[in-house]
Amino acid sequence: MAQLTPGDSATPTGAQAAAAYLRELLLRPGRYRRKWEQYAERSRLGQVNQLAVAEVLAHYLWEHPRAQGDVDVLPRQLKDTASRALSGKLLSKATLGLFTDAFGFGTFEREQLLKLWEGSAHVRVLSGPRAIREDKAVVLGRPRTKTLSLHDHHYLGPDGLPVRHRVIQVIEAVVDGVDRVPYRGDTNALTIEVGQGFSGLAGPVYQPMAELFVVDMLLAKPLALGETATLEYSASFHYSEPPPPEFRRVVQFSVENLDIRVEFHPDRLPSSVVWAVWDGMEGPIVEREPVTLDSQFAVHRYLRLAEKTAVGFHWDW
């Protein structure tokens, strides 16, 4: 069962997680990338030019000195600082602040970087190979909301089939007049029930593409730009054939505070379970980490931030 949202097998430290997100921000097409590329004599695909980044940092310090000597600092003197920061080998809070100020990161990016830097072993940036193919992303269109918090609770029955999925989600409107949010799944063998934050369903399930089924859920009140809402909804499943033994959350853009829990019935327990990262909505597993059931026959994982990835649990009977 895959759920789609409009967001390394080794667990990194907070500094390494922040560095990974920092590299991601500087490699994305846009103003952050253009800021260092203007100083790069040449750039390699998928790599940040460290001397060009040092140039950005130096220019900022010339205009906003923080210590004696900053007005005369040379870019080459900051190359090691840039290199250590981008690799995560040495990324102090002060250096992180210098990067955010020099590149003019927005409030969202600043908060994510700080949360990651301060984080624990469970605070991770997950940027998978992809979340969804570009041609299919075009069909889904641009998001009208962003997710501030998402709790996935997935339950399997005594026959090993999914029986229920419960979601608690906090969203923020990124445009004016948001009056609905889509529920997206890979099957139409389900019944949707809306709770807190909703007034009902907009209509029947529709199919924007072959592998995806969608039903629009109407918000209790339209949201203006920047407004938030706490939502609760659930789905019950009626599979005629067993689906793949997995729960996969596809993050099309980004999701903060992603919490995934899968609970098995004591009459049908899996022989093994792995925490997995997939190559998108349709691709194979590219990273896996064995996990064990807790006393409630469940597995659980919390991520502070997930971006453009597909993550979840896969099991064998």
What does the pLDDT look like over 78-119, one tens digit per residue? 999 999 888 878 888 889 999 999 999 887 778 778 877 876
Percentage of the chain with pLDDT > 90?
Answer: 22
Of 266 and 305, the structure prediction assigns the larger pLDDT to 266
Which residues make beta-bridge pairs with 315?
A: 273
The pLDDT of residue 209: 61
Q: Six-digit token pair at 275? A: 């925490």
Helices 93-103 & 14-27, crossing angle to 10 degrees? 10
pTM, two decimal places:
0.57
Query: Which region among 34-48, 59-73, 110-124, 239-253 has the lowest average model confidence (pLDDT)?
Result: 110-124
Main-chain phi, psi angles of 225, to 5 degrees: -55, 125
Does the pLDDT of residue 6 top 70, yes or no? no
Distance of CA 109 to the CA centre of its chain: 13
How does strand 198-201 pair with strand 190-194? unpaired
Q: Which one has a higher pLDDT value, 270 or 195?
A: 270
Confidence band, pLDDT 50/70/90 cuts, at residue 236: confident
Residue 1: the pLDDT is: 54
What does residue 242 show for φ and ψ, rounded to 5 degrees? -60, 130
Calculate the CA 252 to chain-centre distance: 8
Task: Determine what percent of the chain falls in helix, strand and coil, rounding each to the nearest 5.
Answer: 25, 40, 35
Residue 229 CA, chain-centre distance (Å), reads 19
**Pairing state between β 298-316 and 190-194:** unpaired
**CB-based contact 258:150 (threshold 8 Å):** yes
Residue 204's pLDDT band, with cuts at 50, 70 and 90, is low
Res 10: pLDDT: 35
Beta strands in the chain (DSSP E): 2-5, 125-127, 145-156, 162-173, 178-185, 190-194, 198-201, 206-209, 212-223, 228-237, 246-263, 272-278, 285-291, 298-316
User: In the predicted model, is pLDDT for residue 15 greater than 90?
Assistant: no
- φ, ψ of residue 96 to 5 degrees: the values are -60, -40
**What is the C-alpha to C-alpha distance for residues 237 and 159, in angstroms, rounded to an integer?**
13
Average pLDDT score over the chain? 80
